[in-house]
Structure 1
């Protein structure tokens, strides 16, 4: 019996330096999702940001609507919708509409909002963001299940509110909560028995927090009569893969420095380890895989072992490499990494081993069958058309009679 397939996907913030055409950058993000769909990736999560210039997508719902029309199989999620920025009924209605338009391919990722600058422009105190996410999530879960909700808070009100369309997915569109190092996301996911999106799972702090955050979520779920499903747990980390490590390291010279600048100087997020050689620091800390498919598979196995098991690995999309090399990286992961965690070749390997182990037996049977047909032909038509080397190859089984 085979176990569950580990799904593969991407977490597309996205990260586009300010020296390139933003219109073309958005177009390329859509093309990436199409490329992933053709390669068999299962999920793509699309971010929401409103400032700082790099993370260009303001409405993941708009992006998902366009991507859904260009793809056939891949599931598309908000990665994530920042709940303090939206009235819950309006957001629930948009997600429910997408659920219908995509025939159930949409997923709803939620969080408090990653950029303080976004919150500041909307007059939202940063210290209120997580409380507001929790409050909004409490009513969103109910709304997306088709329930009627009345709720009054200091930043939104609902009076006998409900979605006017019955949810397409039952009991609801899939919901996942973003989590990094602090237990905020794990607690919110556990309270409702939702999925967990572990961002920065490959960084030192995020990696160390995997097991503890899962335990926090499962404990809270039990307290509220819910259960957590490891198949709904996604881990996120950056990778760039090439046929050789040397090629992978050469590829990322294209955009790594700009990516590091954004995180260190603008977003002020501790994603990049300190060190004189950023590539070496990323590799040695395990924060990123910059290497071969084998390197990627080894790191994912470490994540499986540390976490105790999860449902999907999401590539943090980063634009380190030129477009063609980036597409090749995704292709190599689909061709050589995903099959190791999806048992795609186990039957093939068993079959080739079985056939190889019986080579002598099968060869003997083949030769015997050929010899029998040659002998039959000689018996019926004589041996004038039988080449001597055939008879010799068959050990004389069908040797033609000697001329008198």
Structure 2
């Protein structure tokens, strides 16, 4: 059996989908209740997605929702997954996220991305084709604003002359920034050169291992210390589908309705390499994917062991509440995971150290 090296950490991902059986308010309140429970159960992090003009994701501002979560929790890390940089002014986003860091007393994880859905850009009259260039400028400004507190910047989209940024975040020198990576190697290389952590999705385990090796190589070549690079990797993780019930059959049945509704709504890109671009879903094939952890606690433990051995990552972000899952079933899944899966990996790590 592979030695884990450190305790595995488990986070939760929230897209906040409004399925036909839920209202907007019900789903958003359910999400906050689940984050509060996750804090009490010992989950490491909670990650909030940001979308607009789509029923499958109704949180249009991660900073607003994260502030509410911060006020309700004590220990759990709170992450944006992601704040879409081309849709925000970078100075205002820096100010808003610094507020979240203060309200949470230094628990903010800032995930950033460029956005992928043209409809969301069109809704705000923002040029979709300029998103890559705008993202790069925004990330530079955001990083400087959070770390240095004063910004001078001249670019294609932004001209900022010696502007102070308040309030200052609690974390020093700034909250960790995470780049979401699901496609080619370029995003991983850029994250490594900038010293940002990463969250992976949509790729297989062998590609995950490749990208982590590439990240270490590029980060060291960029002049970052080995210690810094390992800390950045240790914070990083992968996003996986997950649901737990007493039996594997029950977990698969409980997860199905929300997943299939979500996939019928989400017609603009495939998810995690297991759903086709035509939106067709073979549920049996989905359940066999290495990006899927759906089953009894015993099955999920075995699947996580395989993930750990094949990727070398210690962190997983679990997508339990997909497609507006029934709140009571999500709560049950969270409790089963915390009672049976988490302790297994904690005891394995302890045993490895003792030996």
TM-score scaled to structure 2, two decimals? 0.88
Equivalent residue of 1:255, what SS?
helix
Is residue 2:347 matched to residue 1:339? no
Gaps of 5+ in 2: none
CA 1:216 to 1:128, structure 2 compared with 1: closer, same or farther past 3 Å? farther
Counterpart in the other structure of 1:220:
218
Is residue 2:166 matched to residue 1:164? yes
The correspondence of residues 206-217 of structure 1 with structure 2, limited to 5 A, is: 206-217=204-215
Pick which of 328-337 and 207-216 moved more. Answer: 207-216
Contact 1:14 1:56 in 2 (8 A): yes
Contact 1:142 1:148 in 2 (8 A): yes
Contact 1:181 1:206 in 2 (8 A): no
TM-score scaled to structure 1, two decimals? 0.78
Instruction: Give the CA deviation at 1:345.
Output: 8.4
CA 1:128 to 1:45, structure 2 compared with 1: closer, same or farther past 3 Å? same
**Residues in 1 aligned to 2:98 and 2:271: alpha-carbon distance in whole angstroms:** 34
**Residues in 1 aligned to 2:154 and 2:349: alpha-carbon distance in whole angstroms:** 55
Counterpart in the other structure of 2:270:
269
- Greater length-normalized contact order (CA 8 Å, ≥ 6 residues apart): 2
Contact 2:84 2:115 in 1 (8 A): yes
Equivalent residue of 1:289, what SS?
strand
Counterpart in the other structure of 2:52:
50
CA 1:344 to 1:217, structure 2 compared with 1: closer, same or farther past 3 Å? closer
Match of 1:322 among 322, 326, 330: 326
Counterpart in the other structure of 1:30:
32
1:20-67: CA deviations, max 9, x gaps? 311111111111101111111110011111122210101111111111
Contact 2:242 2:293 in 1 (8 A): yes
Equivalent residue of 2:152, what SS?
strand
Contact 1:194 1:228 in 2 (8 A): no
**Residues in 1 aligned to 2:118 and 2:207: alpha-carbon distance in whole angstroms:** 23
Contact 1:319 1:326 in 2 (8 A): no
CA 1:209 to 1:119, structure 2 compared with 1: closer, same or farther past 3 Å? farther
Match of 1:69 among 53, 68, 71: 71
Contact 1:60 1:81 in 2 (8 A): yes
**Residues in 1 aligned to 2:171 and 2:22: alpha-carbon distance in whole angstroms:** 39
CA 1:18 to 1:206, structure 2 compared with 1: closer, same or farther past 3 Å? farther
Contact 1:2 1:343 in 2 (8 A): no
Contact 1:241 1:293 in 2 (8 A): yes
Match of 1:100 among 99, 102, 105: 102
Contact 1:177 1:188 in 2 (8 A): no
CA RMSD of aligned residues (A): 2.4
Match of 1:297 among 294, 301, 305: 301
Gaps of 5+ in 1: 351-404
